[in-house]
Amino acid sequence: MEEIKHNINTLLISKKQLKYLEDELQYTFKNKELLRNALRHSSIKKSAMPFERLEFLGDRILGVVIAAYIYRKTAGNEGEMAKMHSAFVCAESCYEVAIKLGVNNIIKTAGPALRNNKTVLADAMEAILGAIFIDSRRDYRVVEYIVTRLWKPVFKRYREEDQEPKTQLQEIVQANTNEVPLYTLLSETGPKHHPVFTVSVTALGNTIQASGFSKKEAETKAAREFLKNYINDK
Question: Which residues are known catalytic residues?
Answer: 59, 126
Phi/psi for 13 (5° steps) reads -120, 120
**CA–CA distance, 63 with 9 (Å, rounded to integer):** 35
Q: How many of the other CB atoms lie within 10 Å of CB of 165?
A: 18
Phi/psi for 39 (5° steps) reads -105, 5
The number of helix segments (H) and strand segments (E) in the chain equals 11, 3
**Complete edge-to-edge strand list for the sheet that includes strand 182-189:** 182-189, 196-203, 206-212
What ranges make up the beta strands (E) of the chain?
182-189, 196-203, 206-212
Which residue pairs from 207-216 have beta carbons closer than 8 angstroms and sit at least 24 positions apart in sequence? Answer: 215/185
